[in-house]
Amino acid sequence: MVLLNVNSLTTEYRTEAGVIRAVDDVALSVERTSMLGIVGESGSGKSTLGLSIIRLLPPMGSIVKGSIKLDGKDLLSLSEEEMEEIRGRKIGYIFQDPLTSLNPVGKIKDHFVELITNHEPDTPVEQAVERTRELLAQVGISPERMDEYPHQFSGGMRQRIMIGLAVALRPDLIVADEPTTALDVIVQAKILGLLNDMQKTYDAAVVLITHNLGIVLERCDNIAVMYAGQVVESGSSTDIYGDPLHPYTRALLDTTPNVELNEQKPKAIPGTPPDLLNLPRGCRFEPRCPVAFDRCKSEIPDLIRKGSGHDVRCFREGG
């Protein structure tokens, strides 16, 4: 059963240089208790998509088209007060940088107690503190440290705290925006394992946003590949790994080390992502695409269905 359904979502930023369309006509869905990976290079629109889902865009950003439905309820039709009830209780969010997301002058205990009592005002503070102890223990942090401050924890431990905050109210959906950024590979694996554990413990769906295709191939049920604000391919992890259809997806796979293929050396993707203020006239990947032809320079391909749940935006696939 579908929990989250995003349709024709378009998000723009108004800047002095002009309007930037960071998310362009994106459609995706997330099944209950499943994990969707959103992958792409920096500037592809991944984080803007995540912030759009919880309507926490910066002042210069706005959603100009589309719908975001959580369990059938259109989030874009809700007032800000109603959205405040959704955030935390229905959607838990893990931000990229836990150090800047946590209040530097607030004890860890205070973060949890404030969250719990704001959404559950009838909950006594003592009970909220006890729940804080339980949540910290669940994410591998000693409850005895709850009176310490964020700067007293390592990056991996702060991310564990953020995961604890994200699941504190047992949300139906967890959005994790680059939860392993700036962490070493050992800590990355532990954080992702913890996220999987929390998903199972709370029967939550997860949207995992990352630039690392290897991570989503290993962890996610389904994957959406974004490039310059658009979804260029989406499907099951099996489809994306076994039968990648878009040249950009294949290029991302080529950049991913594979320990099972000793002779394979990771390859860099030539060129750079386009300036969103000055997009190519046709396919946005055309300037970097090794198989582009004349039509790609002048027309924008549609996202088409190629198989059961496998979509691609490419003229060579019929788009």
With 80 as the cut, is the pLDDT of residue 260 above it?
no
Q: What is the pLDDT of residues 75-100, one digit of tens each?
A: 999 999 999 999 999 999 999 888 88
- E-assigned strands of the chain? 2-15, 18-31, 35-39, 61-70, 73-74, 91-94, 173-177, 205-210, 222-227, 230-236, 304-307, 310-312
Residue 258, SS3 per DSSP: coil
Does 265 score more than 80 pLDDT?
A: no
The label of the residue with tokens 């490039």 reads 227
| Residue that has been written with the tokens 């070493």 in this structure | 184
Q: How many domains does the chain have?
A: 1
What pTM was estimated for this model as a whole? 0.93
**CATH number assigned to the domain comprising residue 19:** 3.40.50.300
Name which residue leads in pLDDT, 100 or 4.
Answer: 4
CA 134 – CA 132 distance, rounded (Å): 5
Distance CA 162, CA 150 (A): 11
Using alpha carbons only, give the angle 256, 262, 267 rounded to the nearest 5 degrees: 35
Q: Does the pLDDT of residue 261 top 60, yes or no?
A: no
How high is the pLDDT of residue 259? 58
pLDDT for the residue 142: 96
- Checking DSSP bridges between strand 222-227 and strand 35-39, what pairing results, if any? parallel
Phi, psi of 22 (to 5 degrees): -80, -30
What does the pLDDT read at residue 11?
A: 98
CA distance linking residue 315 with residue 230, whole number of Å = 15
Indicate whether 123 belongs to any domain.
no
Contact 234, 28 (CB under 8 A): yes
DSSP bridge pairs for 127: none
Tell me the one-letter amino acid at 191: I
What pLDDT score was predicted for residue 264? 63
Establish if 220 belongs to a structural domain: yes
Domain hosting residue 39, numbered range: 2-105+149-317
